Chains A and B, each alone.
Chain A
Amino acid sequence: MVGILLVSHVQSLADGVKDLAKMIAPAVPIVAVGGLSDGSPGTDVERIYSGLNEVDQGDGVMIFMDLGSAVMSTEMALEFNPNDKHIMQNAPMVEGTIVAASAIQVGSTIEDACDLVESQKNIDKF
């Protein structure tokens, strides 16, 4: 099954998005990484790298980031062990995660789930 990695500046934000996604997609492997190892806000390349390995079951990992350095830190983590199926998503973290998790829950491949996120990412809230 495709995994989802959430990368945020704070652990509680990543955990919250994970909780929300788990409600509709309980079977999907999701790992939430937030903040630094001492609990302060920030992004930690080492923790992102471990999270990536933890959530990867071999079918790929979709990665959703919150802001700024989360993107750069994720890029660095990916460079240490390049894998075509570890894919950063250029989409809002909450909406993107829900769309991806829903698709993966019903057996979507990473390619299809990425296409779906891409097609849904600009949908207006109202």
Chain B
Amino acid sequence: MSVNKETLLNIIKCMQKNITENREYLSDLDREIGDGDHGINMDRGFQEVMKKMDEMENQDLAGILRTTGMTLAFKVGGASGPLYGTAFMKASDVLKGKEEIVIADLPALLEAGIGGIQMRGKAEQYEKTMLDALIPAKNALEEALANGSSSEEAIKAMLDACEAGTEYTKTIKATKGRASYIGERSIGHMDPGAASSLVLLRSIAEVIK
């Protein structure tokens, strides 16, 4: 696996396509335990990112992630804006000076993004948030690579863990974010932030497969 500038832009385009396709699905999930706008917000943010494509074509890898992050932070309109925005911006720092991303770089990128989300949201794993999808995904990817798996196997392990983590959010009570206001009643519902994180990781896999 090697991701150059063109591939990275394709990943971002693919994220937008998949977020737009899942707009209603994400808002429906949010309607159960939040304010029902997660899909609308994420779609708005990624549509704004698409308007920056011309600008991003003249940027390096770090610049592309930084512009994406800034745009999401400014334009999403809900908590997921500052959260994903900070994630992309922190991941951008990892790419400074790089001209390609190889599979071995991916855990560090995810880790930086996760760190950004934790810093911004002051959340931990098991609080029914996007972290419950992203942290297991990063761990599985890291483990697969450490065991000598191929890129394809490692990416599959990452997605499997991300799916399992997203499903797992159904079983726990929200203690962070809007859903925490309804406490026990949040059990049985999937966290919309975890679901959108899964959509984003699947988009990465869809392009680099």
Contact = CB atoms under 8 A, between A and B. Distances in A.
A69 B82 contact: yes
Contacts of B73: 45, 76
B115 interface: no
Interface string A76-103: 1000000000000000000000000000
Given A41-B37, A69-B81, 17 more contacts: A40-B77, A41-B35, A42-B37, A42-B41, A43-B77, A45-B73, A46-B74, A67-B178, A69-B79, A69-B82, A72-B79, A72-B81, A72-B83, A72-B121, A73-B82, A76-B73, A76-B82
A74 B82 CA distance: 9
Contacts of B183: none
Chain B, interface residues (CB within 8 Å), range: 10 to 19
B85 interface: yes
5 contacts: A44-B75, A69-B78, A69-B82, A73-B82, A76-B86
A68 B177 contact: yes
B79 A68 contact: yes
Nearest to A46: B74
B107 to A, nearest CB: 26
Interface in A48-78: 67-69, 72-73, 75-76
B170 interface: no
A116 interface: no
Interface string B61-81: 000000000000111011101
A36 interface: yes
Contacts of B177: 68
Contacts, number: 43
Given A68-B177, A68-B178, A72-B121, A42 B77 contact: yes
Interface of B: 35, 37, 41, 73-75, 77-79, 81-83, 85-86, 120-121, 177-178
Interface residues of A, number: 15
Interface of A: 36, 40-46, 67-69, 72-73, 75-76
Nearest to B120: A72
Contact of B81 (A40, A41, A45, A67): A45
Nearest to B83: A72
A68 B35 CA distance: 12
The list of the 4 closest CB pairs from A to B, nearest first, reads A42-B77, A69-B79, A72-B82, A45-B74
A42 B78 contact: yes
A73 B120 contact: no
Contacts of A46: 74-75
B78 to A, nearest CB: 5
Contacts of B121: 72
